Structure 1
Amino acid sequence: MHSQTISLKAPYSFERLVRRLETHPDPQMRVDAEQKTLRRAFRVGNHAVLTTIRFTGDQEQPILSWETHAALRENEAAILEKNIRHMFSADVDLSPIYAQMSQDPRLVPLTERFRGLRFLLDDDLFQSMVRTIIGQQINLAFAATLMERLLELAGEKVEDADGNCFLAFPTAERVAAMDVEQLRPLQFSQRKAEYIIDFARVIANGQLELDGFWRLSDEEILAQLTKLRGIGKWTVECLMMFGMGRPDLLPVADIGLKNGIQLVYGLGERPDEHEMRKIGESWAPYRSYVCLYIWEMIGAIKRKEPWVHA
């Protein structure tokens, strides 16, 4: 068995993470809110590794630990820990973000209401792009359904000691070998199926190296990916935000963000892209996190959490 404790810088709210998963479901994740555990199959090289993530302590003294019974070499265990740290934004310091947001009195209620909320990132950039393509122009619940169907069709299965099945996301090679006709009965549109398989083939054929993106600027990543069919600016911004954890993105085409800004700033109508950019100027260099907190406000309203907008 491998296990490790990961240090977290306060605040970190497991409760906010769980509440966000209610409106942003992840079919790979099994959550036990009472025990403060998450179980998920991570892909480490050629292995599907079932891992338990456990949160202890509290919001102001948070501790995260992980364990797996999978047989891993030392370097593989290190990769798994790196992926977990990334996925749970363990190395993010919220202090400067909150200091920045405190300069705008309309944002202060968000930092108070959702204190300790961080991004739950995708641990793999191929998965992140496929998830984002799936989510284009459909609601979150249906996107999660399509993700689950893709996992059941092509994901790698791993079972725990009690026979519970978990699914690791399929590799680019596995998706690249598929045909559009395999996805259409699962309610994937023709175009969405084509875009996913086309992207997988670009990766599997070595035409694009996703690991190299970590060394590129936002603009360079945008330029490379928008050359591909079915991938526009919003899709790339989501990849950089939810896959890479880039801190200063403002996806002005996002309808949910438009609605949230309208509510937070008391606007008479949805802001256009020019107005969103103007409002977002003061959020830099943490625009991604301000977006997260505005999205979470919308999520809290959908979940009917108590919320009074001043």
Structure 2
Amino acid sequence: MISSQPIVTRRLYITPPDFLFKTQLLPTNHLPPPMARRTRRKLLLQSESQTDADPPSNISFRTTKIRKISSTQKSDKPQISTPGGGDRTRAFPNQDGPVKSLSSSDVICTAIDHLRRSDPLLIRLLDSCESPNFKSNPPFLALTKSILYQQLATKAAESIYNRFASLCGGDAAVLPDAVLGLSPQQLRVVGVSGRKASYLHDLATKFIEGSLSNSSILEMDDETLLSALTAVKGIGVWSVHMFMIFTLHRPDVLPVGDLGVRKGVQRLYGLKELPKPVEMEKLCEKWKPYRSMGAWYMWRLMEMKEIVKDDGDLKMNTANGGGVVM
């Protein structure tokens, strides 16, 4: 049923608050038009004159400052520092400073303790082997031996080196000038091949010219040393790694290309295949910063002819200590 009452439409007007306006005019509808206009003008003039006396609004507006962005402006973010003075290459765990060389028994004991804590699989091996005792020769003499011992059995290499040293005048006389003064024919008489003679001469030449020296070799970091020594004919990455470990006693060298170390890692972790260099790096990461010691124990592990699991002990049956003579 439709209602007969008229529909009343109401409009809702929303009036803004008075404090948003400086002027509020009084109603003038009751005045005649001319008087109303004059009254409005008068009220408007009075309100403008009182603008400065109006009380401030209770609502505060936060001003926004525009900052200039400069390319040289420093970031407000906190800087993250790393142990070892921010140099990540020297940020060794639990180390207050650069790791010392493996020349003292104290450092060797520290390295063994680190391996024991970082890799539980090494504990029985560490307990079964004697601690290493690294000996060293002057760098030039050690590099000379490295060249002479290449691809030879230990006894044959020792025999050739002894004759070579006698030709020079003894171990102390194995110096760049003396080696460069020996002709390929003289070296061939004592068992040194023509190719190795050229290697020895190239090594001696680099020492005489000054690109290498005993003192500079001791001061070079691992990467620089690797680059400098592999520039010598007959010296490859493996030879440099052995030189770093057994002559310079560098603590954190991992010879990823050494077959004995690779087999030791394979045996230690029960791998089906020999680990590749990238896998070696990952598996032995926990040994840092004493991977040289870890490699040394991998050689010892491979020298074990028989592993007897009796009361948790490993028994070694070897004729000698093994290792590389340098």
User: Which residue number corresponds to residue 297 of structure 1?
Assistant: 301
After superposition, residues 132-147 of structure 1 pair within 5 angstroms as 132-147=146-161
User: Which residue number corresponds to residue 183 of structure 1?
Assistant: 187
After superposition, residues 202-221 of structure 1 pair within 5 angstroms as 202-221=206-225
State the AA in 1 paired with 2:243: L
Higher deviation after alignment, 210-219 or 244-253? 210-219
User: Could you tell me how far apart the structure 1 residues matched to 2:149 and 2:104 are?
Assistant: 26
User: Which residue number corresponds to residue 197 of structure 2?
Assistant: 193
State the AA in 2 paired with 1:184: R
Q: State the TM-score, normalizing by the size of structure 2.
A: 0.58
C-alpha contact (below 8 Å) 2:101/2:251 kept by paired residues? no
Q: CA deviation at 1:131?
A: 1.6
User: Could you tell me how far apart the structure 2 residues matched to 1:116 and 1:235 are?
Assistant: 23
User: Could you tell me how far apart the structure 2 residues matched to 1:262 and 1:139 are?
Assistant: 25
Between Structure 1 and Structure 2, how many residues are aligned?
210
Q: CA deviation at 1:208?
A: 2.0
Encode CA deviations 1:154-194: one digit per residue, 9 max, x unaligned.
232xxxxxxxxxx5451221111111222223332322221
Aligned CA distance change for structure 1 residues 185 and 307 (closer, same or farther; 3 Å):
same
Aligned CA distance change for structure 1 residues 256 and 180 (closer, same or farther; 3 Å):
farther
User: Which residue number corresponds to residue 120 of structure 2?
Assistant: 105
State the AA in 1 paired with 2:121: R
Find the residue that maps to 2:111 and give its secondary structure: helix
C-alpha contact (below 8 Å) 2:112/2:293 kept by paired residues? no
Which structure's residues are more often strand, by fraction?
1
C-alpha contact (below 8 Å) 1:97/1:289 kept by paired residues? yes
Aligned counterpart for 1:117 among listed residues 124, 132, 136:
132
User: Which residue number corresponds to residue 281 of structure 1?
Assistant: 285
C-alpha contact (below 8 Å) 1:283/1:290 kept by paired residues? yes
Encode CA deviations 1:186-219: one digit per residue, 9 max, x unaligned.
3323222211122012213433223112222111
C-alpha contact (below 8 Å) 2:252/2:289 kept by paired residues? yes
Q: CA deviation at 1:254?
A: 1.4
Aligned counterpart for 1:255 among listed residues 226, 240, 259:
259
User: Could you tell me how far apart the structure 2 residues matched to 1:183 and 1:87 are?
Assistant: 35
Structure 1, unaligned stretches of length 5 or more?
Answer: 1-85, 157-166
User: Could you tell me how far apart the structure 2 residues matched to 1:148 and 1:281 are?
Assistant: 40
User: Could you tell me how far apart the structure 1 residues matched to 2:184 and 2:106 are?
Assistant: 39
Find the residue that maps to 1:106 and give its secondary structure: helix
Find the residue that maps to 2:120 and give its secondary structure: coil
After superposition, residues 51-62 of structure 1 pair within 5 angstroms as none
Superposed CA RMSD in Å reads 2.7
User: Could you tell me how far apart the structure 2 residues matched to 1:179 and 1:221 are?
Assistant: 28
State the AA in 2 paired with 1:108: I
State the AA in 2 paired with 1:307: M
Q: CA deviation at 1:244?
A: 0.9
Q: Which of 1 and 2 has greater Rg?
A: 2
Aligned CA distance change for structure 1 residues 87 and 126 (closer, same or farther; 3 Å):
farther
Q: State the TM-score, normalizing by the size of structure 1.
A: 0.60
After superposition, residues 1-310 of structure 1 pair within 5 angstroms as 89-90=103-104, 92-102=106-116, 103-120=118-135, 122-156=136-170, 167-168=171-172, 170-301=174-305, 306-307=315-316
Find the residue that maps to 2:200 and give its secondary structure: helix
User: Could you tell me how far apart the structure 2 residues matched to 1:298 and 1:146 are?
Assistant: 27
